[in-house]
Structure 1
Amino acid sequence: MKNRNRWLLIAVGLGVLLNPLNSSMISIALARLQEVYRLDYTAVSWVVFAFYIASSVAQPVMGKASDLFGRRRIFLAGLVVAFAASILAPFSPGFGWLIVCRIIQSIGTSMMVAVGMAIVRVHIKENQAAALSVLSVFLSGAAAVGPFIGGVIIGWWDWEAIFWVNIPFTAAGFLFAWRWIPEDTPEESPVKGLPLSKWLEILDVKGIVLFAAGLTALLLGVLSFKSTGAAALWQILTTLAGLALLTLFVIQELRSASPFIPLRTFARYPAMTRVNVEYMLVNVLFYALFFGLPSYLQTVREVSVFHTGILMLSLGLCSLAAAPVAGRWVDRSGPGPALMLSALLMMFGSLWLVMMNESSPVAGVCIALAAFGISNGLSGVGLQAALFQSSPQEIIGVASGVFNTSRYFGTILSSLLTGLVMGGRLSSGGLRSLALVLTIIAILLILMNRQRLRA
């Protein structure tokens, strides 16, 4: 690989790692934020919801916006936005302000993820697959070690540190990007010069607003009911409004010529839809454990933030170690066997947590974490291969976008599930109930993969 391409990869990598890093570090900070803002788990979960809802909207939007304004400009702007959010978040006077900062942070980091892959594809012509795999390491590695980093820095300082840690990354990323990411040429911005009304139509602003408002209203209604234990009129109306807005969103997407989420694609290609459903369920399983377990360890088992980060490292290391093995296995045997083992490991890890109680050794959670980590490494590679097998070549770009959307749906549902089952007051019984639900989802995945192996 040429020297210039290496520096370009570093520049892009420093930017794209910020989104998965900040989405994973927060898992260690949830218990501390409950203390600081005197909130229950359900309420504090909005720092997770807000980030993922904003990411699910911002990434496809910013990908389209890069066609108009240029990929380099979007990438640099994303670094500035992420830097500003990281500076402001620690000074939030209330939890609402922290949510706003998390949304801004999500938009900034999503701007870089949205165009990072495209920058590599356009400007690195030789050994492109190897370059993209290096970028994947930045993405998966940051997500895997995020809880460990969060545990260490919160243990040394406090929750504000998970925002301060972004400052050197954004500053260095900006300098590298300014120096090594080439300017976009006019030919690379095919929609430049279109009127605002046409650009808003291309972005599907109506769909975006309906999706974000409907999902937020639905989550607010459902979670507030869980927190209070009673259905007030405003909670019922908020939930119904969310369902109505999401119904309008579906109608809008089916009518739009340039839909924010191409729902027609799901109906047209059922095999691809099956892969996306499986990917969503895998993420529900993984992230429910990812966010629920650290809070349980700190709140119920009184494990320090630092040691919680150390325990969670087993999840990240096993995931990273399993991915290259999965790649060779899937190349040789196809995605079916790897995905079946992934589902079996998730069922084993969930059942292990079901059997744990207050007297079980805390270190025992590492067995479940290792099972989920290996499973995540296998499913990440296996489902990507299954997507390529099930998607026609002419729509592979759309298929990849839908695939990422399924991941965000899974992460949002995982937070909702964790909030509903473990919300209010965390307990060992709550963890076992969550693990039992995860076991049922894992069994569903096993049945889906059994059909895949028979086909």
Structure 2
Amino acid sequence: MNARSRWLMISVGLGILLNPLNSSMVSVAIPRLQNGFQLDFTVVSWVIFTFYIASAVAQPVMGRASDLFGRRKIFLTGLVISFIASLLAPLSPNFGWLIVFRIVQSIGTSMMISVGMAIVRIHITEKQATAVSVLSIFQSGAAAIGPFIGGVLIHWWDWPGIFFVNIPFVVASFLWSWRMIPKDETPTSVERKMSFRKWLNLIDAPGILLFTVGLIALLVGILSAKSSGHVSSGYVITGLIGLVVLGAFVRHELKTASPFIPLRTFAKYPAVTWVNVQFMVVNILFYALFFGLPSYLQMVRHISEFHTGILMLTLGLCSLVASPMAGRWIDKSGPRPALLVSAILMIFGSVWIVTLNEFSPVISVCVALAAFGISNGLNNVGMQAALFKSAPKEIIGVASGLFNTSRNLGAIISSLLISIVMGDQFSFGGFRLLGVILTVIALSLVFMSWRRRESGQLEELEFRQ
């Protein structure tokens, strides 16, 4: 790999790490945001919801937009949008404006996630596997150390620090990308003549609108009822509207020629459906711990953001160490054994949370973090291998898009679960109840992994030359 290719890979890597970095740093910032804006826990949770909802919508849309407007333009535009959002978010006069800038930030970072891998695959022709693996390290590494970086920044510079830290990454990535990413090829005549209305049909704008409105209305209905402590007709109507709109979304997706989420794929390829369902459950478990444990440490145990970030490193480092080991294991034995062990580790970690009390040594929290970290490393490789095994080559692009959607939905559901359990204030009793619920979910994950073997939906993965 020549020097230009290495610099191209670094410039793209600095851009794509921003999405996982910003989605993970906020896990340590929740208590500080709650105190700073004088809000209850449920309302502050929207800083998580909005980021993942925007990512779920923006990533596939920007992937399609890059075919029309060019990958270089989309990548550089994403950097500019991220810079503006990171600069203005700390200046937010109220929590509503912070949410707006958080959404803008999610859209900007999603633009780079959508096209970064494609840029490397197109313009780096030698040692592509190495280049792709390096980009994966940028993403997984950013997610792993995000809570630690967030803890340090919040300890010294309060919550605005988790936004300002993006600026040097954005500037460096923009300067190098401007020089290193080759200019986009001239669009074809079909693309040049495509009207804005046709492009909206191509990305399925009606489907996106129905999905977003329905999901937000449903979340507002559920969370408002929980936060207020009583169920009013307004909350019920809002939730019902969300369900109706989501039903309309499903009907629309089954009829449209270019669906935002190709639901027909689920019916046509049940093995792919099973992988996505299991991956969503995995992420419900992982993100419930990922967002719940920092709040437990800070609000219940009164641990500082700095030390919380250090403790959370256990999760990230175990995940990073387990991933390459999982790759070698799966190469030999297929994904099923690794996924089964991962589910068992999640049961152990969830049960360990239930055994904790208000006076347990803080270091004992690392046991649960290590269990979930190793499990996450196994899942990152195992679920991807399961997807490649179950999805026919002709739909691998669609299957990968659904796979990322399942990750985002898992993160959204996990945040909803935490908010429902905790209500307006994070408590030790709520945290223990969360552990019980996670244990039940983890048990169902073991059943799903075992059922996959019995039904033959996931066969052993063989890599024989």
Rounded Cα–Cα distance in structure 1 between residues aligned with 2:133 and 2:273: 25
Aligned residue number for residue 431 of structure 1: 431
Structural mapping, 1:197-276, within 5 Å = 197-276=197-276
Letter in 2 for 1:162: I
Cα shift at 1:33? 0.5
Aligned residue number for residue 9 of structure 1: 9
Q: Is the 8 A contact 2:69 2:187 kept in 1?
A: no
Cα shift at 1:233? 2.0
Identity %: 65
Q: Is the 8 A contact 2:27 2:291 kept in 1?
A: yes
Letter in 2 for 1:163: F
Cα shift at 1:187? 5.3
1:331 aligns with 2:331: yes
Q: Is the 8 A contact 1:75 1:115 kept in 2?
A: yes
Aligned residue number for residue 83 of structure 1: 83
Name the SS of the counterpart of 1:426 in structure 2. coil
Aligned residue number for residue 109 of structure 1: 109
1:196 aligns with 2:159: no
Residue-by-residue CA offset, 1:47-86 (whole Å, 9 max, x unaligned)? 0000000000000000011111100000000000000000
Aligned residue number for residue 33 of structure 1: 33
Counting matched residue pairs gives: 455
Letter in 1 for 2:344: L
Aligned residue number for residue 359 of structure 1: 359
Aligned residue number for residue 94 of structure 1: 94
Cα shift at 1:189? 8.9
Aligned residue number for residue 460 of structure 2: none
Name the SS of the counterpart of 2:379 in structure 1. helix
Aligned residue number for residue 345 of structure 1: 345
Letter in 1 for 2:389: Q
Rounded Cα–Cα distance in structure 2 between residues aligned with 1:188 and 1:7: 29
Greater than 4 Å deviation, 4+ residue runs: 187-190
Letter in 2 for 1:337: P
Letter in 2 for 1:143: A
Q: Is the 8 A contact 1:69 1:189 kept in 2?
A: no
Cα shift at 1:188? 7.3
Aligned residue number for residue 51 of structure 1: 51
Q: Is the 8 A contact 1:79 1:170 kept in 2?
A: yes
Rounded Cα–Cα distance in structure 1 between residues aligned with 2:191 and 2:124: 23
Q: Is the 8 A contact 1:67 1:192 kept in 2?
A: no
Q: Is the 8 A contact 1:67 1:190 kept in 2?
A: no
Q: Is the 8 A contact 1:350 1:436 kept in 2?
A: yes
- Tell me whether 68-77 or 192-201 shows the greater mean CA deviation: 192-201
The RMSD of aligned alpha carbons is 1.0
Letter in 2 for 1:160: P
Rounded Cα–Cα distance in structure 2 between residues aligned with 1:255 and 1:453: 34
Aligned residue number for residue 369 of structure 1: 369
Aligned residue number for residue 130 of structure 1: 130
Q: Is the 8 A contact 1:67 1:189 kept in 2?
A: no
Residue-by-residue CA offset, 1:120-164 (whole Å, 9 max, x unaligned)? 111111111111111100111101110000001111111000000
- Tell me whether 126-135 or 43-52 shows the greater mean CA deviation: 126-135
Rate the CA distance shift 1:193–1:232 in 2: closer, same or farther, 3 A: same
Cα shift at 1:451? 2.2
Aligned residue number for residue 151 of structure 1: 151
Unpaired runs of at least 5, structure 2: 457-465
Cα shift at 1:376? 0.2
Aligned residue number for residue 391 of structure 2: 391
Letter in 2 for 1:387: L
Aligned residue number for residue 280 of structure 2: 280
Cα shift at 1:190? 6.2
1:440 aligns with 2:440: yes
Q: Is the 8 A contact 1:217 1:242 kept in 2?
A: yes
Aligned residue number for residue 162 of structure 2: 162
Letter in 1 for 2:185: T
1:70 aligns with 2:89: no
1:302 aligns with 2:302: yes
Aligned residue number for residue 292 of structure 1: 292
Aligned residue number for residue 24 of structure 1: 24
Name the SS of the counterpart of 1:192 in structure 2. helix
Name the SS of the counterpart of 2:411 in structure 1. helix
Cα shift at 1:175? 0.2
Q: Is the 8 A contact 2:16 2:112 kept in 1?
A: yes
Cα shift at 1:193? 2.4
Aligned residue number for residue 459 of structure 2: none
Letter in 2 for 1:241: I
Cα shift at 1:453? 3.5
TM, length-normalised to structure 2: 0.97
Cα shift at 1:452? 2.8
Q: Is the 8 A contact 2:68 2:187 kept in 1?
A: no
Residue-by-residue CA offset, 1:9-36 (whole Å, 9 max, x unaligned)? 0011010000000000000000000100
Rounded Cα–Cα distance in structure 1 between residues aligned with 2:323 and 2:423: 33
Rounded Cα–Cα distance in structure 1 between residues aligned with 2:136 and 2:96: 33
Letter in 2 for 1:5: S
Rounded Cα–Cα distance in structure 2 between residues aligned with 1:115 and 1:262: 20
Rounded Cα–Cα distance in structure 1 between residues aligned with 2:179 and 2:99: 33
Residue-by-residue CA offset, 1:393-433 (whole Å, 9 max, x unaligned)? 11101110010000011000000001111222211111110
Cα shift at 1:178? 0.2
